[in-house]
């Protein structure tokens, strides 16, 4: 069932287009309230429901839950929702200000979960300034009869996920924790896609380093890729503990039937972490190989320069001796003295050149 849901989430994403979240046609409930829906027995009730009305309806019936989606709300815009659901001030502050590490915090009546989203940024060519990974955040308040999602960043829209869940009433009937699991699953699957795309950049950098002795490789590209990989690692690594808590600890806001599914998400996260660690180690090896190749190339250049300096030292020395203007010089007054000296110089240079050539210096 979960596998089917994951596949269903991917298809709408491929067809999605950019939407102005503040457009009245998109959000009649307010510029920051992207969506507000009431679910009973896994089925979404028809019609638009203002937040207060949706909460009243759910609590009056004692069945179902309300799912409110927000996008980068201000503290004033969030105030009504905070009052309706009795959210903790510390969690509200984190949700409004963002820039949080992935974490799970339990309050009296709800859970507060922070996910760091990540997506691969397409680029024609990797450079020393290319942006490879873009990150955002999704905060989730989970209670007995509500789910509140707060999204920060220009990607990670939950619209396709909501549609996929609504197409699976059996899963959605498990309540707010089913939504929390679906969000966690989506975030981790996006990590897998991002690392798979980063693999292509790794291959490009590796090929550049080991092609033609690495002379055309740019160390700046390697450092940039390492920085972007570090940003992805900061998003992924801290999520391990929250997923462990969700999959092993009995939490009042998490249906026991959902706990097993969180174990599956935690397993996928472990794969992502292992892949990032492997990438980091490989980048270190590539960087060291590049630096070693640069050093070797410099040594080879210095050997060639030194060899030519040694060859040119012979005519320089002989010409220097004959340029001292002494009266009594060997073969100075002989007709064939000049040609003889030139032949000696050439012969000495040829012998030295052959010696360096034989030893691999030239």
Residue at 150 is within a domain = yes
In tens digits, the chain (362 residues) has pLDDT values of 444 444 443 433 333 333 333 333 334 444 567 788 899 988 998 877 788 888 888 888 878 899 999 888 888 888 888 888 889 989 999 999 888 899 999 988 889 999 999 999 988 888 888 888 999 999 999 998 999 999 998 777 888 899 999 999 998 999 999 999 999 999 999 999 999 999 888 888 888 887 755 555 677 888 888 888 999 999 999 999 999 999 988 888 888 889 889 999 999 999 999 999 999 998 888 888 877 777 777 777 787 888 888 778 878 777 776 776 666 666 666 767 777 777 877 888 788 788 877 777 77
The beta strands (E) that lie in the chain are given as: 33-40, 43-44, 65-71, 103-106, 110-120, 133-143, 146-152
Residue 20, both tokens: 């102005």
Give dist(CA 218, CA 221) in Å, integer.
6
Residue at 89 is within a domain = yes
Last residue within a domain, chosen from 242, 261, 293: 293
Whether residue 92 is found in the same domain as residue 114 = yes
Whether residue 253 is found in the same domain as residue 161 = yes
Whether residue 22 is found in the same domain as residue 79 = yes
| Domains held by the chain: number | 2
Give dist(CA 33, CA 70) in Å, integer.
5
Helix-helix angle 159-166:2-15, to 10 degrees = 140
Whether residue 250 is found in the same domain as residue 335 = no
Whether residue 338 is found in the same domain as residue 267 = no
Give 225-264 as a DSSP string.
HHHHHHHHHHHHGGGHHHHHHHHHS--TTS-HHHHHHHHH
Domain housing 156: 2-293
Residue at 39 is within a domain = yes
CATH (domain of 231): 3.30.460.20
Last residue within a domain, chosen from 274, 293, 312: 293
Whether residue 283 is found in the same domain as residue 146 = yes
Whether residue 17 is found in the same domain as residue 87 = yes
Give dist(CA 152, CA 134) in Å, integer.
12
Whether residue 143 is found in the same domain as residue 61 = yes
Whether residue 92 is found in the same domain as residue 169 = yes
DSSP 332: S
Whether residue 139 is found in the same domain as residue 189 = yes
First-residue to last-residue Cα distance in the chain: 68
Residue at 298 is within a domain = no
Whether residue 219 is found in the same domain as residue 270 = yes
Whether residue 277 is found in the same domain as residue 325 = no
Residue at 289 is within a domain = yes
- Long-range contact set of residues 49-54: C-beta below 8 Å, sequence gap at least 24: 51/80, 51/81, 51/84, 52/80, 52/84
């Amino acid at each position: 069932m979960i596998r089917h849901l994951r596949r269903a989430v991917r298809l709408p994403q491929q067809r999605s287009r950019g939407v102005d979240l503040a457009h009245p046609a998109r959000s009649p409930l307010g510029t920051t309230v992207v969506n507000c829906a009431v679910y009973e027995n896994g089925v979404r009730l028809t019609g638009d429901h203002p937040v207060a009305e949706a909460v009243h309806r759910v609590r009056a019936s004692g069945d179902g839950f309300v799912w409110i989606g927000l996008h980068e709300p201000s503290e004033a815009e969030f105030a009504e929702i905070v009052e309706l659901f009795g959210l903790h001030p510390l969690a509200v502050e984190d949700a409004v200000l963002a820039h949080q590490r992935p974490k799970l915090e339990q309050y009296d009546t709800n859970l507060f979960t922070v996910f760091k989203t990540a997506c691969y940024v397409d680029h024609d060519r990797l450079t020393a300034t290319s942006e490879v990974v873009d990150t955002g955040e999704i905060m989730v308040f989970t209670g007995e009869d509500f789910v509140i999602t707060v999204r920060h960043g220009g990607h990670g829209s939950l619209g396709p996920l909501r549609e996929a869940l609504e197409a699976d009433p059996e899963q959605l009937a498990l309540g707010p924790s089913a939504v929390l699991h679906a969000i966690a699953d989506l975030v981790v699957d996006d990590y897998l896609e991002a690392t798979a795309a980063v693999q292509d950049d790794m291959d490009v950098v590796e090929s550049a380093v080991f092609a033609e002795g690495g002379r055309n490789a740019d160390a700046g590209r390697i450092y940039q890729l390492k920085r972007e990989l570090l940003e992805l690692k900061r998003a992924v690594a801290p999520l391990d503990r929250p997923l462990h808590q969700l999959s092993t600890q009995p939490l009042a806001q998490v249906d026991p039937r959902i706990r097993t599914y969180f174990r599956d998400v935690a397993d996928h996260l472990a794969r992502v972490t292992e892949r990032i660690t492997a990438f980091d180690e490989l980048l270190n090896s590539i960087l060291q190989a590049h630096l070693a190749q640069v050093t070797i190339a410099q040594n080879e250049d210095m050997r060639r320069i030194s060899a030519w300096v040694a060859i040119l030292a012979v005519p320089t020395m002989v010409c220097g001796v004959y340029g001292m203007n002494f009266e009594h010089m060997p073969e100075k007054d002989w007709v064939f003295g000049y040609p003889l000296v030139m032949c000696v110089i050439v012969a000495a240079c040829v012998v030295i050149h052959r010696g360096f050539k034989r030893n691999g210096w030239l």
